[in-house]
Amino acid sequence: MEQLRKLLNHALLKTDDQHKKNVLKYETVNGETIFLNRDHLTRDQINLLNVFLTPIVETARNESDAQKFWKALVNGDKSLINHAPITAPFYQFVHFSINSDIQNNEEFEEAVENFFTTEITVVWNTKRSGFIVLYITEDDIENDNEAMVEAIMSDFFVKMTIFQGNKFSNLEEVISLYPWEENTLTLARNFSPNNSVIKKEKLIPYILANEVSDLTKKMLTETISSLREDKELLKTIKVFLECNLNTTLAAKELFMHRNSLQYRIEKFIERSGIDIKQFQQAAALHILIALEETMENN
């Protein structure tokens, strides 16, 4: 423990400073609590501390009326619909998940608020997931989700994934809208695990594939059944589709020479009979791959 104190001396705080912002709290193996200034630690140092010490996560503070309202409403309490503490012409959910606990939820919420021009309410479902309610007027500017996620991940040393849902004005829609959007985020995390900002438009093939019956999936994916064993070829073609049929861009993504990629594309067309250089056939294949992946996931 003394060695650790020497290594982290620049970040150690006195007990009197423990209520300052950006403070990380840990319990040692001896039951001692130490306080560290997060601004003076690197990401690697925090990751190591989380392994060798026990992070102390602050107990949840009292929820605001708005937080209580939205939590009850998304869980099906229709009696609250006419008693919203904050009203607006339109509302929108931004669903989020993070890969580790936040030690101070209030700091996280303040950081999120800085990226929105409209009023918001942050609601926690668990220690690692929740949703942001946007109260939208006609004049509100579209928020920069990419910038927000990048800042949160940098400041709090977490991986964050978000999915922005549809705008709605009728609170009765929440009962069906919220679970659909939550399921869509779960779907996105399964099939696009590397994407931090999930866009609904890119998920359409997977959303549709997830709703199709098993029999329909089986019948349609027979088209590419002969290629199932050639995972590398299918992966190559999927990247080609995701790069908008741009061979130069796809070759860079795959760290492959353009001529080698062209050879694989021709090989795929010959074996499958699907000419992916044609938009309609490429779009059909994109859906077939989504069907195949949902079958594998199930």
Residue type, 33: T
Provide CB contacts within 8 A for 111, sequence distance 6+: 151, 152, 155, 156
DSSP SS3 for 273: coil
Q: Give me the pLDDT at residue 298, please.
A: 63
- The DSSP 8-state label assigned to residue 142 in this structure reads P
- The span from the CA of 268 to the CA of 261, in Å, is 11
What's the CATH number for 207-297? 1.10.10.2840
Q: Give me the pLDDT at residue 222, please.
A: 87
Provide CB contacts within 8 A for 253, sequence distance 6+: 239, 243
The residues spanned by each domain of the chain are: 2-55, 65-198, 207-297
284 and 291 in contact (C-beta within 8 Å)? no
Residue numbers in the chain where pLDDT is lower than 50: 16
What's the CATH number for 65-198? 3.30.70
Q: What are phi and psi of 34, to 5 degrees?
A: -120, 150
Q: Give me the pLDDT at residue 1, please.
A: 58
How much is the pTM? 0.69
Calculate helix-pair angle for 258-272, 231-242, nearest 10 degrees.
110
